[in-house]
């Protein structure tokens, strides 16, 4: 898959943005509205008013990426609309972009080796 790596830091903007904007305008919005550096390597997830569309903006060290996705059916599961951003884990981010409920994703469990009876 082309896109941010599994180790990428992810921030979700909780308020909808104007989806007519391109990469440069969204980078300026990230800096102005959230006080964040759009060229830091963090993946910024932006939503439209309709919950079936998202845009991802991130700097990969050589250029600014803009990726968009629109679900054919259903809607992305979004946090409540409020000011600011929230951080997601890589697993939660993966669930969000697949249209799954990212709130149901939890950290993995460590396997426990069976104990031999002595």
109 is written with which tokens? 């469990």
- How many Cβ atoms from other residues are within 10 Å of residue 51's Cβ? 15
pLDDT tens, the chain, 118 aa long:
466 666 678 888 888 899 999 999 999 999 998 889 999 999 999 989 888 899 999 999 999 999 999 988 888 877 666 666 777 777 777 777 777 776 777 655 556 666 676 5
∠ at Cα 9 (78, 21), nearest 5°?
Answer: 60
């Amino acid at each position: 898959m082309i896109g941010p790596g599994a180790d990428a830091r992810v921030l979700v903007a909780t308020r909808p943005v104007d989806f007519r904007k391109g990469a440069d305008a969204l980078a300026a919005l990230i800096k102005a509205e959230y006080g964040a550096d759009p060229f830091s390597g963090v993946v910024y997830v932006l939503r439209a008013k309709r919950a079936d569309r998202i845009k991802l903006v991130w700097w990969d060290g050589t250029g600014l990426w803009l990726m968009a996705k629109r679900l054919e059916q259903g809607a992305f599961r979004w946090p409540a609309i409020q000011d600011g951003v929230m951080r997601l884990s890589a697993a939660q981010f993966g669930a969000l972009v697949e249209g799954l409920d990212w709130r149901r994703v939890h950290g993995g469990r460590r396997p426990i080796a069976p104990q031999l009876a002595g």
